[in-house]
Structure formats: C-alpha cells, structure tokens
Amino acid sequence: MVLDNDFKQAQRRVDELITLLDHYSHEYYVLDRPTIPDSEYDKLYQELLKLEEMYPTLVQQDSPSQRVGGTLLPGFEKVEHDLPMLSLDNAFDLDGLRAFDKRVRQLVDGEVEYECELKIDGLAVSLKYENGKLIRAVTRGDGRVGENVTGNVRSIKAVPLKLKRAVTIEARGEIYMPKSSFIQLNEEREEQGEAVFANPRNAAAGTLRNLNPQVTASRNLSVFLYSIVQYGDLNVETQSDALNSLDKLGLRTNPERTVFQSIEEVWTYIEEYQNKRTSLPYEIDGIVIKVNKFDNQEQAGYTVKAPRWAIAYKFPAEEAKTTVNEIEWSVGRTGVVTPTALMDPVHLAGTTVQRASLHNVDLIKEKDIRINDTVFVRKAGDIIPEVVRVDFDSRSKETEPCQIPTQCPACQSELVHLEDEVALRCVNPKCPAQAKERLIHFVSRNAMNIDGLGEKIIIQLFEKQLVQDVSDLYRLNKEDLLTLDKIADKSAENLLNAIKNSKDNSLEKLLFGLGIKHVGAKAARLLAEEYESIENIKRASLEDIQSIEGIGEIIAESIVAFFELEAAMDLIDKLKSFGINMTYTGVKRQATINTDSYFNDKTVVITGKLEHFKRNDLKEELTLLGANVTGSISKKTDLLIAGIDAGSKLDKAKELEVSIWDEKRLLKELSE
C-alpha cells in the first residue's frame, strides 16, 4: 500500500507540474516567447505522466495529459447559443466605411472611437469557462445553434483548459490553421494521394469537425479570441479593455489591434495591412471595425442579423489572369504523380508566379483546364499558387484538352488510379524519381537532419550514380563529394561530418526518414517511445501497434506492411552495418515495477470497449505492476480483461480456459 505522505507529496508535485506546464505552454503557444527549451518541457511532462500513472486518482481534468482523447467521437451534439453569434455587415471601399461612420455618429451621443482588429480567416467558436475551467466549445453553426466540439478544442494547445483566475465567462473568437501547418498538411495529403484542402480556412474547418480528436491535435490549429459575451466579474467598459482582460486570463488574442478616433485613420490602417497580409503567419481576409466603448455599442444597437456598431472591411480577392502553356507531371517519393501548370509570368501577392499546382487528375477534369486556356490564379492562403477557374468566355479553338499520362514520366511504368485515391500513382519500387525524392526526404530537418545536404546536392549525387538509396549516403567519401559542383575541400569535410553525426540520431528520426506511408514525425515519435528499438517494432503485432494512443488503424497497417517487405528489411540491415542508431534515445518514462502485485509475471490480454480506462493507460498501469500485456490469446495467456463487445478473443479465452475478468473485478484488484 502507498504511504499517505508519499501520496500527499505526489499530489503537491502534480499540482506544481500542472501549474508549471500551463505557464510554459502559455509562453510558447500564446505569447510565442518560450523561456525554456523543448527538452526541459518534455522532462516535466514525462514526470507528470509518471506520477499520474502511479496515482490515477491524481489525474485532473485540466491536466496537460488530458488534452487529447483516445476515442472517436460518435458525432457532434447540437447546442443552442445563450446569445446568438451574429454575423457582421460588410464594407468593400472607403465610401462604405464613411457611410458606416455616418450611421454610427447619428446613433451615438458624443465622440466615437473605433477599435480595429485583423479579420482572421478561420472558423468562429465560442468557449465557455466555469470557475476558470473550460467546460464547452461550440461552433457558430447558423448563429443560433452550433456544434459541440469541446473534445477537439481541448486538443488545441493555444486554448487553455484552465484560466489564470477562477472566473465564469464566455469568450468568442476564431480557430485557424497557421500557413506553415497548412502547407505541411497539404504536402502530406498530396504525397498520400489524398485530396488537398483549398485554403487554411477549409483545412481548419475540416480539422475541427473531424470525429477523431487525435487528428485535430496533430494538425496544429490555433485560436484568437475577439469578444466576451459573459463577463463574470471583469470590470471592462471598452472592447480594448475586454481584449486586455482576456490576455490577463491567459486567453490568446491578436496583438495587431489599435484604437482610432476617425474613419480616415481606420482607412490608413486597412491600407497598411492590405500590404502586409502576405507576410503574416496566418491568413486574414479583412479588418473588423468596432465602436470601442460598450455604452456606445448599446446606443447603436442591433439589426435582426448584425450589430450596428461593427462592420467588416473585406479585402478584394487578389487574382490575376494568365495563360496555361503546358502541364508538367512530376513524381513524388510515394509514387504520386502531380500535375503542375506552366503559365505566362504574372505578378501576384508580391511575387512573380509562373507555376501553379493542379494537384490531381480529378481537379483538372472538374475545372476543365486545357492547354492555352486563360485562367484566374491566386495564392491559396497567400502562399501556394493555384488555378481558381478557367475564363471560359476567353476560350479559343486553339485550346487543347490535357493529355492524362498513362505511363510514369520518370520510369515509363504503367500508372494506376486507385479507387480510394484522387491521384495517379507509379507503383514501380525502382522508379528513379521516387528514389531521388526519398533521399531528399531522408536528409530533411524532421528526418535525419543532415545539415548542408540539400536538394541540389542530392540530385547531383543521384545523377552521378554516387547514391541510389539512403544507405549509400553513408558510403560517401571526400573524393566523391569533390566531384560535385560548388563543393570544395572544407564543405566536403562539413558534409561528411554531418552525415557521420546523423548516425547517432534517436530512433524516431530514422523512422520518419524511412518514409513509411502515413507515418509522420509525431507517429514516428510515438512508436519510438513505445517500443524503444526497431527490433521491437518489427516484432509488434497490428493490434499492439494500434493500441498506442495516437496511432490509428491506417497507420498501424502501414507500419506492419512496411516491416513485412523484404526490401525494407534489407535497407535496415544495410543501415545497421553502417552504424546507424536503431534505438530511442529521447526522454524515457521511468517506471518501477511492483513485483509484489497480483499481475507480476502474468501474461495479460485486453479486449473490448472499456468504460473506466483508456486502453493504453491500463496497459501501462498493468506493466508497472509487472504484467506482460500482449495483443493475442494463446495457451500462455494468464488473464483476459474483457470490456463490452469483447468478440472472438473472449470466445478463444473460454476455449483455452483462460481466466476472464470484467472491469468490475479488475477495479477491485487494483484498489487492493
């Protein structure tokens, strides 16, 4: 039994860790001013996990460990807003703003000042806190009824689960996807042959309404709050006061806001941000102008659909016309063949654009894009050039339908269009274009991070046949590198040192670098932490891998399939021969096995839906008690823990006369 003073010490430390982690998370995700390195945060987080594993009763609802749920949501409950989430009237030019200003001054007594905020292009959400704790998050919906997305919003690290003061308030704002996350997400989806998102707003909406909170957590959404509906005990008299109060409570607001005395000053602010919008790390589509003083807002009042005291200035869509001269097809590392439009150069969002991704065959057909067509182009999220639509009024007889390739442009193998994908795919494992892209991926920052070994050098190495697969990088010598353009004696030595240093990378870097389908950097880290060596991963069953929180069925199937490939095993053996580290060297969870427990040295299988435990948490708790938790029933199994809908494992356990417990029996044993 645990001594009382041990429990009390653990309780004090858990409280202290939650406070520290909340503080550091606020600095990182809200203020963007971290004061400790990631490794130090990870150590504190792992310490918290260890204590929560040892003392499950100390797990608090607002603990950082509770951000991501482990189960799929059955659907989204409809919730009626306490106060409607109204839309705003729009203005599109200075005359429209002057008309708004005139109406406001007719409705309001005395001087008027305006608070201007950036109009974030995301998804509106309402966050409700009771006594400082997040209890509900609801989308705008139709303004009166929205969807309860609390489980997903809890996974967004910029949203605090607990405020700095125990107040009861409702704050509203915009959940969005940063431009960098949008680019990364679409690149990953394109590599996997999946349909890409049109812009960051669509990506944010699709992510927030995904029924798997783990997907939401993986896509790095963020939030800016812009209003308070229920004020609690906050003493605020203006919109600017309200936003400052949200900052003090630990909620994230956009700092790019200013109060002005005239609509002419507002217009200058609008012109400034219309020029700066492309340099922002998030997408905006306008400026919101609000009467600053709340008593003036009350005087102005509301129409049926919108407040009279606020208006949204919408930036004009920045599009340009150009001509499609050619469609180029390129092969990625996973074999996906991607079309790119080559166009007459056109100036767009501060840069000259000549190329635009067409993503996949289905999109070309849907938009009916042809060679010599006049098209409108824009930058999705102010970043990626894309063809918006064809100017059919300008279509001439000289246009030519796009010829969809039937053979790989790199190796001439026959292309396939799988039923569950929107992409054409080359399935030749020896395709040189795929091999080159795999090399580029292997050396990238999130993979083996070989400094200085960029795309141009990889292409030279490949074309000179100095490397064919990633293991060949570790055969390179100084003489090889000196044959490359712009590589001198010193730079060759630096590259060799960077290649040598990469041998000591932790396992998750290698796993990501191997380019296993569907396995991103996060999944690679989860696998490495769980199994600690590549040999353990090779031996893991599909069910065991799938039981890891954050690893779904598709990822698990892909991992198992990869390690069944003879070519993959040959590559790993080659890398081993060059001294590449195959173990996890990151922060490890320290666990003390309780050899006096009932479960010590017993082989245990868990099956069915559990009501009182998360499967992975129970697995870890039983492991700490000395159990060997496996994924399949055999004669060596000592105990089956059966939840609801246990299925075939329960039948097999009965057949083999394995001891069977339900959760009630398990809880009794654990409590003792």
**Binding site annotation covers 32?**
no
**How far apart (Å, rounded) are the C-alpha atoms in residues 543 and 588?**
23
Q: What is the mean pLDDT of residues 40-64?
A: 82
Query: Annotated binding residue at 362?
Result: no
Q: Is 179 annotated as a binding residue?
A: no
What is the C-alpha separation between 203 and 191, in angstroms, rounded? 17
188 annotated binding-site participant? no
88 is in an annotated binding site: yes
Q: What is the pLDDT of residues 570-586, one digit of tens each?
A: 999 999 999 999 999 87
pLDDT confidence of residue 2: 43
Confidence check: pLDDT of 333 > 60? yes
Output the CA torsion sign for 648, 651, 655, 658: positive
Identify the residue with better confidence: 612 or 641: 641
Tens-digit pLDDT profile for residues 206-225: 888 888 887 888 888 999 99
In the predicted model, is pLDDT for residue 310 greater than 70? yes
- The rounded Cα 355 to chain-centroid distance in angstroms is 27
Residue 260 has a CB neighbour count (10 Å cut-off) of 18
Distance CA 531, CA 656 (A): 29
pTM of the model: 0.58
Residue 135 φ/ψ region, left for φ over 0, alpha for ψ in the -120 to 50 degree band, beta for the rest: alpha
Asked if residue 142 has pLDDT above 80, the reply is: no
411 is in an annotated binding site: yes
Catalytic residue positions, numbered: 119
Q: How far apart are CA 161 and CA 249, in angstroms?
A: 11
Assess whether pLDDT exceeds 90 at residue 246: yes
Residue 174 known to bind ligand: yes
Question: Bridge-partner residues for 302, per DSSP?
Answer: 307
Task: Label residue 393 exposed, middle or buried (CB < 10 Å: 0-12, 13-18, 19+).
Answer: exposed
Query: Quick one: pLDDT at residue 231?
Result: 76
Mean predicted confidence (pLDDT) in 344-350:
81
Q: What is the pLDDT of residue 43?
A: 77
Share of the chain above pLDDT 70, in %: 93
pLDDT computed for residue 21 by the predictor: 87
pLDDT at 595: 62
Query: Is residue 116 marked as binding?
Result: no
Residue position matching structure tokens 């191997």: 514
> Is 50 annotated as belonging to a binding site?
no
318-332 residue pLDDT tens: 788 999 999 999 998
The phi, psi pair for 175, rounded to 5°, reads -90, 135
For the segment 488-534, what is each residue's pLDDT rounded down to a tens digit? Answer: 999 999 999 999 999 999 999 999 999 998 888 878 988 998 899 99
pLDDT mean across residues, the chain: 87
Tell me: is residue 117 an annotated ligand-binding position.
yes
Q: What confidence score (pLDDT) does residue 624 get?
A: 75
Beta bridge partners of 427: none
Decide if 133 contacts 169 (C-beta within 8 A): no
Dihedral angle computed from the Cα positions of residues 554, 556, 559 and 560, in that order, rounded to the nearest 10 degrees: -110
pLDDT at 394 over 60: yes
Q: How confident is the model at residue 38 (pLDDT cuts 50, 70, 90)?
A: low
Domains of the chain, each with CATH number or no CATH? 4-66 (1.10.287.610), 90-314 (3.30.470.30), 320-414 (2.40.50.140), 432-502 (1.10.150.20), 507-577 (1.10.150.20), 603-671 (3.40.50.10190)
pLDDT tens by residue, 153-191: 998 989 999 999 999 999 999 999 999 899 888 888 877
Backbone φ, ψ for residue 354 (5° rounding): -130, -10
Beta strands, E only, 55-132: 78-80, 90-91, 114-120, 123-130
Question: What's the rounded Cα separation, in Å, for the pair 469 and 431?
Answer: 11
State the average pLDDT over residues 111-124.
94
Listed residue (84, 89, 86, 85) closest to 289, CA to CA: 89
- The answer on whether 421 is annotated among ligand-binding residues is no
Confidence check: pLDDT of 69 > 60: no
Can you give 232-294 as a three-state secondary structure string? CCCCCCEHHHHHHHHHHHCCCCCCCEEEECCHHHHHHHHHHHHHHHHHCCCCEEEEEEEECEH
> What are the pLDDT digits (tens) for 251-289?
999 999 999 999 999 999 999 998 888 888 999 989 999
Which of 15-24, 50-59, 532-541: highest mean pLDDT? 532-541
**Per-residue pLDDT at 34 exceeds 70:** no
Residue 71 pLDDT: 46
- Three-state secondary-structure class, residue 323: strand
Per-residue pLDDT at 558 exceeds 70: yes
Identify which has the larger pLDDT, 617 or 219: 219
Does 248 appear as a known binding residue? no
* Residue, of 350 and 649, whose pLDDT is higher: 649
- The token duo for 119 is 């109009």
Determine whether the annotation assigns residue 566 to a binding site: no
- pLDDT tens-digit map of 651-668: 888 888 899 998 888 888
- The pLDDT, as a whole number, for residue 30 is 62
Closest CA to 240 of 286, 290, 280: 290
Q: Please, which pLDDT band fits residue 36 given cuts at 50, 70 and 90?
A: confident
